[in-house]
Chain A
Amino acid sequence: MAQKKRIVVKGGTVVNPGAVAPADVAIVDGLVVEVGQGLDGDDVLDATGCHVSSGFVDLHTHLREPGKEEAETIETGSRAAALGGYTAVVAMPNTDPAQDSVMVVEFVREQGRRAGLVDVHPAGCITVGRAGTALAPYASLAAAGVRIFTDDGNGVQDPLLMRRALEYARDLGVTLAQHCEVSRLTEGAVMHEGSCCSAMGVPGWPALAEELMLHRDIELVRLTGAPMHFLHLSTAGSVELVRRAKADGLPVTAEVTPHHLALDHELLAGWDPVFKVNPPLRTRGDIEALKQGVADGTIDAVATDHAPHAAHAKELPLDQAPPGMLGLETALGVLVTAVAPAPERLCELMSWNPARIAGIDDRHGRPVAPGEPANIAVWDTSEVWTVSRHALASRSTNTPYHGMELRGRNRHTIHDGRVVVRDRKALA
């Protein structure tokens, strides 16, 4: 190829920290080369009415490969992510085999490269096989590029083990991320413990089970000084605990999912397992508290907990169906519809903060400025669209938003200087 192609994103509003202004963006060879007015190029993407920002980063994606390829593959999940405006995802380690060894981690990373739609960053396990009994080899995994470790799907129950994990991780400069759930309090749990679950006659998942472990871990952070990230917080009490921990200056960060900002536990009354998720959908009061936490900065990131499940798995009775729902393609729309954050705050929640927490802020969550890597999302907060489970790129269809009208949608995605989503359509 003799000449490098010049891509121009034209007519949008560029969102950078402290600066939201109309500008065109020119990209050549994987880098932003120019930000200014009236730019032209070989390939022009129309961004009229859109915001242009660093691509989104999902701290919490289940890609299911290896092990459950009937539900999702790294390729189909990457495509769903790109359509949602993501340029990087953190792949959760509850695969089969689990991401507790360099071999599995490198396999996942390589499959991500092969798909070539987003950067796939595997998270490591806190404990071997996510079994909660022995520490995973953090140092060798860190050497293989893993920056964040979690047993997501399980909370680490043993307080001694968790203390050791934090102490050991601190030396390596990596972050541990906790799925807060005291499992003894949630045995057989199907949904939020409240009036609805009592009427339905299913075991409840009390808010306490999350808050108890969160409280324990905040105290362990206080003791060890190691940084810690809290996954998918769902209760008003959790928001308050994180708020106080931050006020005390502790190095903690926290995420919420779009669905915990938008959906409540009463949706389970129709027995549809598509609404079963862990942690469960909570009350209206919890939703309001989470929104408050998103608004005041207590919550650092919105992460999808994208959890595909094959149709036959979600046809099981509610108590036997696996928890989890799709999220990558709807996250922006749900966030804008439920919370409507200002563009800059939206970028903090979806891109800048998650890139920093994931330890990938060398290439993601960067300003849109000359010399920066061209990982860019172009999104429209005014577009109204109706979600159809049949029109999603994911291999599974377990979206709770089927038939729902959302405001806000990603339009183009540029990954590593390449247009991977153009006008809401992904590259083949």
Chain B
Amino acid sequence: MKHLITTAGLDAAEIGNLLDVADHMAEINSRPVPKVPALRGRTVASVFFEDSTRTRLSFETAAKRLSADTMTFSASTSSLNKGESLRDTIETLSAMGVDAFVVRHKSSGVPEAVTQWTDAVVINAGDGWHQHPTQALLDAFTVTRSFGDGNTMQGRHIAIVGDIKHSRVARSCMDVFVKLGARVTAVAPSTLLPAGGLPGGVAVAHGIDDVVGECDVLYMLRMQRERMDSALVPELGEYSARFGLDPARAARLPAHSLVMHPGPMNRGVEMLVDPSHLPGSRILAQVANGVSVRMAVLFSLLGGAAAGLERGDS
């Protein structure tokens, strides 16, 4: 694995390895001094063409805890004149000596394109509706560690509720969860499901009530208000009534069930209940695990098998 662009290239064993490394990182993060010298002298550039303070801070925290140097390039795509200087930006930063690019862009496929313009490692921090691989990995980490299931999701039923069609999180999560053996249900109106169909192994439901009584994980997606504009759903109230998590539905969740959300939450739309009142809420754990998993990704890509010299001195 040279880059992390999509989860599609990872098999269950590789995902499991990353989760194991994330266990290490979680231990480091629990120390009084949560910092190790592993990536001393390495430079990680976060290149965010689309604003996402949370994801950027998570990656930068991860890099710093591994002692990497960080640099930040933030630009709204509009100021970049329709992305014209994308290639120039990457080549310029590369020339400064960047070992890894963490790339976020509103257009699907940009991180893949970036790999052509630099020798550095490229990590996708979310591209368009396409992929958000570290989110899926941190979610898999959160689910498996919460249940003590090792690196498998076998026998777990995960319902992903909301705007699947426009969600890079959903695309990455469906892929990873299915690979780890989970039963996955996409819960959305047909207008918010991809027109070309869902990946193999993912079932469909058209109301949250169909899943809330029996799922192990209820994974809520953010419902964006812009979706009202293009006739995808009639109005937010109707969306909330069919797909929102309200106190009555929360009460029907099995006792062991987890509630997750990739953030930022839309209170009053998909979340009609305060998650801090839900015993199964793992929403803050997801954020904490995000740092551990991103440390694992950075370490595996930057500290990993560069030269392939043999192991075993003491």
Residues of A within 8 A of B (CB): 187, 190, 193-202, 204, 206, 270-271, 312, 315-320
Inter-chain CA distance A196–B110, complex, in Å, is: 17
Given A193-B195, A198-B195, A201-B131, A318:B108 Cβ within 8 A: yes
Asked if A318 contacts B107 (CB within 8 A), the reply is yes
Residue pair B108, A206 in contact (C-beta under 8 Å): no
- Distance, CA A187 to CA B112, complexed state (A): 24
Shortest distance in angstroms between A235's beta carbon and chain B's nearest beta carbon? 15
Whether the Cβ atoms of B195 and A201 lie closer than 8 Å is no
| Complex A-B: 17 CB contacts under 8 Å | A187-B230, A196-B196, A197-B195, A198-B196, A199-B171, A199-B196, A201-B131, A204-B196, A206-B195, A315-B87, A315-B113, A317-B105, A317-B113, A318-B108, A319-B109, A319-B128, A320-B83
Residues of B185-226 contacting chain A, CB below 8 A: 194-199
- Complex CA gap A30/B105 in Å reads 58
Q: How far is the CA of A190 from the CA of B129 in the complex (A)?
A: 13
- Measured in the bound complex, the distance between the Cα atoms of B107 and A200 in whole Å is 11
Q: Which of B122-166 contact A (CB under 8 A)?
A: 127-131
Main secondary structure of the interface of A (DSSP, over half): loop
A204 CA to B230 CA, complexed, in Å? 15
CB distance from A236 to the nearest CB of B (A): 16
Considering only residues 252-302 of chain B, those with a C-beta below 8 Å from chain A are none
Q: Which residues of A are found within 8 Å of B31, using beta-carbon distances? A: none
Q: Cα distance A198–B131 when bound, in Å?
A: 12
- Contact in complex: B129, A202 (CB < 8 Å): yes
Question: What residue of chain B has the Cβ atom nearest to residue A190's Cβ?
Answer: B108
Most interface-central of A194, A195, A204, A271 (chain B CB within 10 A): A271
Residue from B107, B129, B195, B230 within 8 A of A317 (CB atoms): B107
The reply to whether A271 and B128 form a contact with Cβ atoms under 8 Å apart is no
Q: How far is the CA of A318 from the CA of B128 in the complex (A)?
A: 11
Task: Collect the chain B residues with CB atoms within 8 Å of residue A317's CB.
Answer: 83, 86, 105, 107-110, 113
- For A315, the chain B residues whose CB sits under 8 A away are 86-87, 113
In the docked arrangement, what's the CA distance between A317 and B117, Å?
13
CB pair B195 A204 closer than 8 Å? yes
Asked whether B168 lies within 8 Å of A201 as measured between CB atoms, the reply is yes
Kindly list 15 other residue pairs between chains A and B, CB separation below 8 angstroms, not including A201-B130, A271-B113.
A193-B195, A194-B196, A195-B197, A198-B195, A200-B108, A201-B171, A202-B109, A202-B130, A204-B195, A315-B86, A316-B82, A317-B109, A318-B107, A318-B109, A320-B107
Q: Is B27 an interface residue (CB 8 A)?
A: no
Bound-complex Cα distance A194 to B107 (A): 19
Nearest first, the 8 closest Cβ-Cβ pairs linking A and B are A198-B196, A201-B129, A317-B107, A198-B194, A201-B130, A271-B109, A195-B196, A194-B196
B84 touches A (CB below 8 Å): yes
Residues in A whose Cβ lies below 8 Å from that of B129:
201-202
A312 touches B84 (CB 8 A): yes
Q: Are B84 and A202 in contact (CB under 8 A)?
A: no
- How far does the alpha carbon of A270 sit from the alpha carbon of B195 in the complex, in Å? 20
The answer to whether B197 touches A198 (Cβ under 8 A) is yes
B199 touches A199 (CB 8 A): yes
B interface: dominant SS:
loop
Closest to A317 in B: B107
Q: How large is the interface on B (under 10, 10 to 19, 20 to 34, 35 or more residues)?
A: 20 to 34
Contacts of B194 in A (CB 8 A): 198-199
Min distance, Cβ A189 to any Cβ of chain B, angstroms: 11
The complex places the Cα of A204 from the Cα of B166 at a distance, in Å, of: 12
Chain A residue nearest to B172 (CB atoms) is A201
Report which of B84, B107, B195, B196 forms a contact with A319, defined as CB distance below 8 A: B107
Q: In angstroms, how far is the closest chain A Cβ from the Cβ of B202?
A: 11
Q: Which residues of A contact B86 (CB under 8 A)?
A: 315-317
- Closest chain B CB from A55 CB (angstroms): 39
Q: What separation, in Å, do the CA atoms of A194 and B112 have in the docked complex?
A: 21
Closest Cβ neighbor of B230 among chain A residues: A187
- B92 to chain A: closest CB distance in Å? 15
B window 84-101: CB within 8 A of A: 84, 86-87
Q: Least Cβ distance of A262 to chain B in Å?
A: 22
Q: Which residues of A contact B83 (CB under 8 A)?
A: 316-317, 320
A194 surroundings in chain B (CB, below 8 A):
196
Contact across chains for A316 and B84 when beta carbons are under 8 A apart = yes
Please name all residues of chain A whose beta carbon is closer than 8 Å to the beta carbon of B128 when the two chains form the complex: 201-202, 319
| A101 nearest CB across to chain B (Å) | 29
- Chain A minimum-CB-distance residue to B194: A198
A204 proximity list for chain B (CB < 8 A): 195-196
| Complex interface: chain B residues within 8 A of A270 (CB) | 112
Q: Which residues of B contact A202 (CB under 8 A)?
A: 108-109, 128-130
Quick one: closest A residue to B131, CB to CB?
A201
Expressed in whole angstroms, the minimum distance between the Cβ of A182 and any Cβ of chain B is 15
Contact partners of B131 in chain A: CB under 8 A: 201
Minimal beta-carbon separation of B42 from chain A (angstroms): 27
The residue in chain B whose Cβ has the minimal distance to the Cβ of A194 is B196
Complex CA–CA separation, A312 to B85 (angstroms): 9
Question: A195 vs B127: C-alpha distance in the bound complex, in angstroms?
Answer: 18
Q: Distance in Å from the Cβ of A282 to the closest Cβ of chain B?
A: 13
* Chain B, Cβ-Cβ closest to A318: B109
For A187, A193, A199, A201, the residue with the greatest tally of chain B CB atoms inside 10 Å of its CB is: A201
Task: Give Cα distance in the complex from A199 to B197, angstroms.
Answer: 8
Smallest Cβ-Cβ distance to A319: which chain B residue: B107
In the complex, chain B residues 58-115 whose Cβ is within 8 Å of any chain A Cβ:
82-84, 86-87, 105, 107-110, 112-113
Residue of A198, A202, A316 with most partner-chain B CB within 10 A: A198
* Distance of A319 Cα from B49 Cα, bound (Å): 15
Question: Could you tell me the distance in whole angstroms from the C-beta of A79 to the nearest C-beta in chain B?
Answer: 29
Q: How far is the CB of B104 from chain A (nearest CB, A)?
A: 13
For residue A68, give the distance in angstroms from its CB to the closest CB of chain B.
Answer: 15
Q: Cβ of A193 and Cβ of B109 under 8 Å apart?
A: no
Min distance, Cβ A319 to any Cβ of chain B, angstroms: 5
Inter-chain contact A200/B195, CB cutoff 8 Å = no
- Which chain A residue lies CB-closest to B87? A315
Q: What is the CA–CA distance of A141 and B83 in the complex, to the nearest angstrom?
A: 39
Residues of chain B contacted by A187 (CB below 8 angstroms) = 230
- Complex: chain A residue closest to B110, CB-CB: A317
Specify the chain A residue showing the minimal Cβ separation from B127. A201
Give the CA-CA distance A204 to B82 in the complex, in Å.
21
